[in-house]
């Protein structure tokens, strides 16, 4: 039967932690074990700060290779949007003009007036 480490008299938190680490219980013991073959401990050092450096590298990659080109593309598309809106307005006005001409050419009264003008140009629009 095992006795609880907390029940031992005179055992403070630091001693409790080192006792737990010595028993091989949990991630604390893994973090203090030397790396196999490297001769380096995984304590405060490069491997301890590796997740921070990895996160900074991912953020730098996003900022430099992802965010800046995306912002440039956004600015380019904003400028192109203004040009396209102007072009669309011109084309819609042209389409309305062509539609009006097409409706007039289908109108029999307009066609008769055009035919009379072509036969007698001296009469003009108002005269007879």
Could you write out the DSSP letters of every residue in 89-106? HHHHHHHHHHHHHHHHHH
For residue 29, what pLDDT is reported? 46
pTM metric for this prediction: 0.39
Say whether pLDDT at 128 is over 70. no
Q: Across the chain, what does the average pLDDT equal?
A: 77
Query: How many Å apart are CA 95 and CA 87, to the nearest integer?
Result: 12
pLDDT reading at 51 higher than 80: yes
Average pLDDT over residues 9-29: 57
Tokens of 71: 């912002």
**Which pLDDT score, from 0 to 100, does residue 118 have?**
87
57-114 pLDDT tens trace: 999 888 888 888 888 999 999 999 999 999 999 999 999 999 999 998 899 998 898 8
Residues 4 and 15 sit within 8 Å (Cβ to Cβ): no
pLDDT class for 13, splitting at 50, 70, 90? low
The 3-state secondary structure of the chain reads: CCCCCCCCCCCCHHHHHHHHHHCCCCHHHHHHCECCCCCCECCCCCCCCHHHHHHHHHHHHHHHHHHHHHHHHHHHHHHHHHHHHHHHHHHHHHHHHHHHHHHHHHCHHHHHHHHHHHHCCCCCCCCC
Residue 14: pLDDT above 70?
no
């Amino acid at each position: 039967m095992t006795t609880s480490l907390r029940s031992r008299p005179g055992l403070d938190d630091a001693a409790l932690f080192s006792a737990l680490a010595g028993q091989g219980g949990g991630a604390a013991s893994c973090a203090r074990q030397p790396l196999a073959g490297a001769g380096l401990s995984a304590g405060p050092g490069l491997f301890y700060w590796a997740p921070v450096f990895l996160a900074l590298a991912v953020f730098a990659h996003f900022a430099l290779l992802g965010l800046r080109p995306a912002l440039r593309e956004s600015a380019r598309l904003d400028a192109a949007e203004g040009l396209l809106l102007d072009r669309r307005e011109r084309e819609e006005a042209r389409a309305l003009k062509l539609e009006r001409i097409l409706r007039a050419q289908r109108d029999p009264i307009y066609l008769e007036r055009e035919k009379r003008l072509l036969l007698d140009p001296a009469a003009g629009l108002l005269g007879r």
